[in-house]
């Protein structure tokens, strides 16, 4: 496979990586990456210095590994505060009047904050939280849409030393309650509602039930829609009333490097969700580092990642953008409302330079063609981004051609909530191959391991990280054994991430799916993304999800679930055509045993297809935690196909 994008001086000169190479006196990117994993203390010292991180007290030692690689202590002796690094230091310097935050509501309302205005809003929110009895170490749930108060509340909680618990805005009451109860949250910040496809969605009733189930005593309610909602004046307060009257100055708590600022939950295959613990000198610094080194987000540029505060990419986009002195753009609504050009209209309207969306969202927009894109001036776009799942070649190339104009690179990005960002990515100093990654993220000592734990090239294996890194989760909340079992139990001292991957002879990486999703057909291991890509190449296929089911002869057989494109009639003839297309692309042994047509595939709010849930529903197994799904009805249609 040949690259589709090549480095140009326009991207390399003046970049964060170029400045870092000069500071570390290395000649090229390969030398920089080697230094980042061989001398991480030097790499991180220069990286944070160039980013401009202000410490209240400088750290004395880069890392303490006395408890082993699973439990490192980073930046020992250092004191800082996320809120100061992200907002205050800019508000009191030359960036004071630069835009820090821009928000657009689905109804078209727009609000903008300079760094100085954002600092004042954060200070008032911090004082309001203190007036409600929230202090250092208290957990506070944040169940809100992507509105300005979401970012302000998150930063205010960090400022006073409390711990943010971000919760997906589309969850039902039980899912919200599970997280509030596990975190023992003292307060829930929520909104009366938000818009979704032009209709008001009431959040407060869900929040009230969640608080009742979790035993969370108090709520702070943001008036987004101004709709009538039940209100208990004893236990609840309006955000605008409590925050509005507060002073515009507020003291900042001095936090140790490893003091937690966020507890963010990820869905488990079984059992309760996993609470990943993140600290002031971890997740925010890793987010900023990845944005600098991979996405090359520069001061004054505008980052928009289509996501939710409850997913890692929500806090990542806010904190990383602000630490780098850029502008974070937030949007609360649907990406194709009131028309399929909504995303592109916002890019033009707000001069967005960096746009991140998922492969699934690209596939959903492709049937509308390129006309909605061509209606808008996208010349501000400098970098495209993608994360959440493996790409299929066709939508990747469509995104590159029509949105990126075959000029903007697609920075493919893969890691996770527990990682605080990426393990693999792309940098603008190397060519980029379609659907792949041209590097392990600087500072991440990644490898593909075979079954015996040896690094391999040109073979499919487990994606692993061979050394700890700043940003890795400080375990799971109240469950250290589960953390060790999940990531550290396969090979001693090595983080095994749970993805099948392959790195080719030229150093390009490819993610082939979750290792628990991987199929083994007649002795051949294959990632579901390969099968899905072959299916999506057929003009009738809008989306596809591949799973393996038990087979007497092959051991496992492929079953393919297909969402058809408009204008195609699902029938046995079409199913056979799709089977043959896969067989032609991948070989007859990988021909699907069955093709089922479904109205939708189960996805999270950030459009990640949940294959494990497809398999569980189809085989009649326990689906485990399904709270992350935006469309649980998709599982019912799949379960109805059970044979």
Q: Where residue 614 sits, what CATH number does that domain have?
A: 3.30.300.30
Q: What is the pLDDT of residue 554?
A: 67
Residue 433 has pLDDT above 90, yes or no: yes
Tell which residue, 508, 510, 492, 491, has the closest CA to residue 500: 510
Question: Can you point out the beta strands (E) in 474-613?
Answer: 495-503, 509-514, 519-521, 524-526, 541-551, 555-564, 594-597
Tell which residue, 278, 141, 324, 138, has the closest CA to residue 221: 141
Residue 91 has pLDDT above 60, yes or no: yes
Q: What is the pLDDT of residue 588?
A: 79
Q: What is the pLDDT of residue 624?
A: 72
Residue 271 has pLDDT above 60, yes or no: no
The arithmetic mean of pLDDT across residues 608-616, rounded, is: 86
* Higher-confidence position of 107 and 612: 107
Domain count, the chain: 2
Instruction: Give the burial string for 204-233 (b: 16+ CB within 10 Å, else e).
Output: bebbbebbeebebebbbbbebbeeebeeee
Q: What is the pLDDT of residue 244?
A: 93
Round to whole Å and give the CA distance between 628 and 642: 23
Residue 589: which domain range? 517-639
Task: Tell me whether residue 453 is in a domain.
Answer: no
Residue 309 has pLDDT above 80, yes or no: yes
pLDDT tens per residue, range 346-383 = 999 999 999 999 888 998 899 999 999 999 999 999 99
Task: Tell me whether residue 408 is in a domain.
Answer: no
* Count of helices and strands (H, E) across the chain: 22, 32
Q: Which of 238, 256, 274 is a domain's end point?
A: 256
Task: Tell me whether residue 409 is in a domain.
Answer: no
Cα 434 to chain centroid, rounded: 20
pLDDT tens per residue, range 331-356 = 999 999 999 999 999 999 999 999 99
Q: Which of 241, 256, 271 is a domain's end point?
A: 256
Mean pLDDT of the chain: 93
Task: Tell me whether residue 51 is in a domain.
Answer: no
pLDDT tens per residue, range 445-458 = 999 999 999 999 99
Q: What is the pLDDT of residue 270?
A: 43
Q: Residue 148: what are its φ and ψ, rounded to 5°?
A: -55, -40
Task: Tell me whether residue 603 is in a domain.
Answer: yes
Task: Tell me whether residue 460 is in a domain.
Answer: no
Q: Where residue 201 sits, what CATH number does that domain have?
A: 3.40.50.980
**Helix (H/G/I), strand (E/B), else coil: 6:** coil
User: Which secondary structure element, helix H or strand E, spans residue 343, and what is its range?
Assistant: helix 342-350
Task: Tell me whether residue 170 is in a domain.
Answer: yes
Least confident of 198-212, 298-312, 601-615: 601-615
Q: What is the pLDDT of residue 604?
A: 77
Q: Which of 256, 278, 293 is a domain's end point?
A: 256
Tell which residue, 188, 169, 191, has the closest CA to residue 180: 188
Task: Tell me whether residue 217 is in a domain.
Answer: yes
Q: What is the pLDDT of residue 269?
A: 43
Prediction pTM value: 0.86
The arithmetic mean of pLDDT across residues 210-218, rounded, is: 95
Beta strand pairing call for 327-331 and 354-356: unpaired
pLDDT tens per residue, range 552-561 = 766 788 999 9
Question: Can you point out the beta strands (E) in 193-325?
Answer: 193-196, 199-202, 218-222, 236-238, 255-256, 260-266, 274-279, 302-305
Round to whole Å and give the CA distance between 158 and 10: 37
**Helix (H/G/I), strand (E/B), else coil: 461:** strand
């Amino acid at each position: 496979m040949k690259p589709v994008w090549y480095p140009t001086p326009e991207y390399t000169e003046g970049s964060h990586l170029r400045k870092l190479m000069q500071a570390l006196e290395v000649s090229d990117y390969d030398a920089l990456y080697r230094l980042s994993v061989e001398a991480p203390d030097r790499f991180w010292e220069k990286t944070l210095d160039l980013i401009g991180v202000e410490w209240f007290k400088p750290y004395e030692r880069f890392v303490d590994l006395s408890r082993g690689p699973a439990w490192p202590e980073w930046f020992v002796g250092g004191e800082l505060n996320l809120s100061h690094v992200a907002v205050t230091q800019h508000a009191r310097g030359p960036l004071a009047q630069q835009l820090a935050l821009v928000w657009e509501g689905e109804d078209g309302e727009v609000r903008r904050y300079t760094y100085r205005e954002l600092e004042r809003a954060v200070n008032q929110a911090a004082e309001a939280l203190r007036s409600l009895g929230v202090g250092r170490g208290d957990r506070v749930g944040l169940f809100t849409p992507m509105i300005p108060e979401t970012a302000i509340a998150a930063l205010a909680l960090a400022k006073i030393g409390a711990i943010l618990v971000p919760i997906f805005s589309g969850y039902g009451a039980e899912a919200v309650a599970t997280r509030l109860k596990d975190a023992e949250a003292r307060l829930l910040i929520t909104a009366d509602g938000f818009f979704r496809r032009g209709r008001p969605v009431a959040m407060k009733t869900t929040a009230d039930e969640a608080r009742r189930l979790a035993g969370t005593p108090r709520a702070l309610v943001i008036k987004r829609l101004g709709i009538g909602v039940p209100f208990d004046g004893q236990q609840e307060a309006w955000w605008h009333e409590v925050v509005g009257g507060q002073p515009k100055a507020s003291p900042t708590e001095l936090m140790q490097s490893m003091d937690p600022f966020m507890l963010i939950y990820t869905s488990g295959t079984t059992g309760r969700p996993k609470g990943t613990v993140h600290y002031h000198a971890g997740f925010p610094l890793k987010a900023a580092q990845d944005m600098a080194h991979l996405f090359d987000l520069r001061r004054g540029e505008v980052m928009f990642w289509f996501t939710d505060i409850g997913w890692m990419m929500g806090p990542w986009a806010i904190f990383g953008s602000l630490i780098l002195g850029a502008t974070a753009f937030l949007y609360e609504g649907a990406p194709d409302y009131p028309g399929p050009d909504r995303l592109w209209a916002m890019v033009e309207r707000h001069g967005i330079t960096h746009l991140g969306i998922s492969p699934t969202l690209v596939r959903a927009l492709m049937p509308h063609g390129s006309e909605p894109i061509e209606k808008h001036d996208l010349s501000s776009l400098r970098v495209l981004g993608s994360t959440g799942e493996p790409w299929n070649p066709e939508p990747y190339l469509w995104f590159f051609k029509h949105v990126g104009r075959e000029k903007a690179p697609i920075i493919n990005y893969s890691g996770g909530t527990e990682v605080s960002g990426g393990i693999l990515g792309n940098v603008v100093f190397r060519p980029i191959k379609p659907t792949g990654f041209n590097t392990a993220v600087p500072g991440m000592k990644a490898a593909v391991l075979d079954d015996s734990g040896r690094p391999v090239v040109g073979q499919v294996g487990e994606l692993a990280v061979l050394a700890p890194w700043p940003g890795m989760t400080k375990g799971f909340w109240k469950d250290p054994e589960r953390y060790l079992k999940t990531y550290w139990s396969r090979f001693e001292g090595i983080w095994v991430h749970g993805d099948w991957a392959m790195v080719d002879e030229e150093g390009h990486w490819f993610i082939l799916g979750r290792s628990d999703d991987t199929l083994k057909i007649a002795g051949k291991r294959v990632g579901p993304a390969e099968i899905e890509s072959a299916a999506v190449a057929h003009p009738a296929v809008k989306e596809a999800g591949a799973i393996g089911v038990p087979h007497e002869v092959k051991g496992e057989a492929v079953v393919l679930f297909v969402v058809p494109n408009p204008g195609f009639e699902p029938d046995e003839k079409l199913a056979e055509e799709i089977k043959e297309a896969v067989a032609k692309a991948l070989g007859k042994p990988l021909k699907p045993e069955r093709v089922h047509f479904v109205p939708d595939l189960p996805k999270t709010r950030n459009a990640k297809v949940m294959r494990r849930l497809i398999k569980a529903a189809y085989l009649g197994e326990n689906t485990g935690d399904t709270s992350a799904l935006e469309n649980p009805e998709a599982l019912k249609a799949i379960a109805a196909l059970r044979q």
